[in-house]
Structure 1
Amino acid sequence: MKQHIFDNTEVAFALKSNAELNRAYVLFKMISYERFVKVGTHLTHFALKVKLPVWGLVRKTVFDHFCGGVNAKDCLPVIDAMYDKGVSSVLDYSVEGKDNEAHFDDAMQKIVEIIHFSTDKAAMPIVVFKPTGFGRFNLYQKISEGKSLTNDEQAEWDRVVARYDTVCRLSKEKDVEILIDAEESWMQDAVDDLVTLMMTRYNTERPIVYNTLQMYRHDRMAFLEAQYQLAKAQGFFLGYKIVRGAYMEKENERALKMGYETPICESKQATDINFDNSAKYILDHLDTISIFVGTHNEQSCYLVMDLMKEKKIAKADNRVWFGQLYGMSDHISFNLSAHGYNVAKYVPFGPVKDVMPYLIRRAEENTSVAGQTGRELTLLDAEKTRRKQAAQ
């Protein structure tokens, strides 16, 4: 694509006041220093442990930049403002709870509430949940490893299946699409099988249930192709959110420690190729598979845009969505929406202290992704300069 639509900072930051623009610049500047992030992370953990009164400061800075609010209703001003610019919202309850049945039931109930909250709101066509919000990691892992379950574990797994079924059934009833995140590879097979089961039940007319493909895994293209053959044979639809992945260091370390081949691609370039190939494959099979392109990579977005044009896929075709995290890559989200594409922001929410692990990960990931923070700073600086010149 010859035009560089993502350079338009006036569109990208139209919703930000000068004060918010400056706050974003300061935040990303701090995040750009790895040592600062490490020290800040340790101080935050200390503040949590000794219960220092830091929540007001956190709320006014990093929380308000990366989160929509403390509860769903609190997010409405953000949701409405973004939708005025054509960007939809995916409410993401980002509280990381405890590993027990009461928590899993509470997490399911929270998703049920979000589905009801989203019903009839054009700005909120999609919801999301994390597999370990609905069941124990070790239980997923045991099933993924093909080990037999005890009677108690089987009853526990039946409850996990029931939670998935409850939210997926409600999603179909309310016509709200549901994205199910991916996690570590050694528990993911159980998730994949369960999500495929939900697809066979509820993706009968069109995709409602979406699985997530982490394309830094070199086996995901083969999985995608096998799923396509299964869907064609059994007559249901597929929905996939494609991402690069978030557990690379953990995956490589475990593979090395336990002596098996890492599931991670050999290089960043190989991951990029894998990601782009999955997008191409899905767009070639759009009659059966819908796609949510979850990326902050501009080149991958341009590729999908080019392929849509080449294949004469309408920009507003509901089978193709782009997505980014709230507080990041506004230059991608708002410029895509300005050009008529379907775009949704993941909008995290929850009590400030409970969302801190999420906020710490955002800071760490921005530090580790080469060029990400630098690009944010360049664009923010360009917009600050543009506004100063416009005011003269």
Structure 2
Amino acid sequence: MKKIFENTQIAFALKSNNQLQLSYFLFKVMNFKLLVQLGTKILLLALKLHLPVQNLIKKTIFSQFCGGVNEEDCLKVVDTLYTKDVSAVLDYAVEGKINEEEFNNAFEKTLKIIEFAKERQAIPFAVFKPTSFGRMDLYEKTGNATVLTDSEQEEWSRVVNRFDLVCQAAHQKDVPVLIDAEESWMQTAADSLILEMMRKYNTEKAIVYNTLQMYRWDRMEYLKKIHQEAKQGAFYIGIKLVRGAYMEKENERAEENNYPSPICASKPATDENYNSALRYITDNLDIFSLFAGTHNQTSTYYLMELMREKNITTDDFRIWFGQLYGMSDTISFNLAANGYNVAKYVPFGPVKEVIPYLIRRAQENTAVAGQTSRELEMIIKERQRRKKT
């Protein structure tokens, strides 16, 4: 397989020298775990004390990882990305909401994004998180088959209705919708609900996509299980594959509550799990469609090789590669330049409201072995290339 991810000229073609310098500074900071930990505490304290830091945040880490404060703000980013054949998935990145007004707001935002996607080829998917439509505790109780009170049952009915109306709109407008995965203790209920939506709306092709976090050792078994159900029920399956983003929280909770961790025992085991899922899905493209969310070059090359071996064209609509906005541009833009379907997750929301998302991005870049170093290495390489030209 030809190595294509070293071409920094293609990867950073959209970045000015000033933007490249900002990226260099941010990833340099994120290369030091203690600085990220200290910076996170200072940021949260400054917000708590209502200090005027939002403008600084917006010009730095927000501009690196977010598309804007609302959907309209993101359109410039969407259009710019699409000049290089990189699509966008608009992600309303406001988290931690707990009341009906906030859930309804997220629901309306999702419907609006579906409308955006219908009108713009550059936005091929919509997306939402299950807990943006309902409380975490309610998903956990439902997944554990806990008897709900009358008021909780009514509340769960509203969650189901939000799911159904969004998936119905996605089906009617022919816009696939990616439903993100979250903590394992709420995921059982989400999985059941998403599978119900697949049975209902994936009768002609994959419109509803569930997300499988392959750092969970049970996800390959689950993938095979729903495959058998789809064959028997004559519906299609959309799957977004990721490694996962809640590892520390999952392990800590398992230890505190004295149950086996749902997380694979090692990073190599997670990598093998992820690649096994890629292989299984591409072996069964008669039923599956895939959104491969990964910043891992090895897994990306592996999927490319699987496509080559199975004579799957680079632009087959059933296979998409995805990375987060502000990260892994060497993967995204070089894939697109070679004819593959690529989409960047482009988060948006009011600056203060997306702080939890931004903190997680900083922590992820610090925690994932080599992630920040790779980003820095490619940025430095491009800066040196530009100095020579």
Q: Does 1:198 align with 2:197?
A: yes
Query: Is contact 1:243–1:294 with CA below 8 Å preserved after alignment?
Result: yes
Query: Is contact 1:215–1:244 with CA below 8 Å preserved after alignment?
Result: yes
Which runs of no fewer than 5 residues in structure 1 stay unpaired?
Answer: none
SS at match of 2:119: coil
SS at match of 1:207: coil
Alignment of 1:1-392 (within 5 A): 1=1, 3-390=2-389
Matched positions, count: 389
What does the per-residue CA deviation read over 1:122-181, in whole Å, with 9 as the maximum and x for residues that have no partner? 000101100100011001001111211111111111100000001100011111110000
TM-fit CA distance, 1:97:
4.6
TM-fit CA distance, 1:305:
0.1
Q: Distance in 2 between matches of 1:385 and 1:250?
A: 40
Q: Distance in 2 between matches of 1:310 and 1:216?
A: 26
Q: Distance in 2 between matches of 1:35 and 1:185?
A: 28
What does the per-residue CA deviation read over 1:89-115, in whole Å, with 9 as the maximum and x for residues that have no partner? 000011125201111111101101111
Q: Distance in 2 between matches of 1:184 and 1:144?
A: 12
What does the per-residue CA deviation read over 1:295-327, in whole Å, with 9 as the maximum and x for residues that have no partner? 000000000000000000010001000000000
Q: Distance in 2 between matches of 1:353 and 1:152?
A: 32
Q: Distance in 2 between matches of 1:98 and 1:178?
A: 21
Q: Distance in 1 between matches of 2:225 and 2:16?
A: 48
Q: TM-score, normalised by structure 2?
A: 0.99
SS at match of 2:206: coil
Query: Is contact 1:97–1:103 with CA below 8 Å preserved after alignment?
Result: no
Which amino acid is 2:295 matched to?
H
Q: Distance in 1 between matches of 2:185 and 2:350?
A: 30
Q: Distance in 1 between matches of 2:371 and 2:274?
A: 18
What does the per-residue CA deviation read over 1:345-368, in whole Å, with 9 as the maximum and x for residues that have no partner? 000011111111111111011000
Identity between Structure 1 and Structure 2 (%): 58
- Moved segments of 4+, more than 4 Å: none
Q: Distance in 1 between matches of 2:69 and 2:144?
A: 38
Which stretch has the larger CA shift, 174-183 or 146-155? 146-155
TM-fit CA distance, 1:265:
0.6
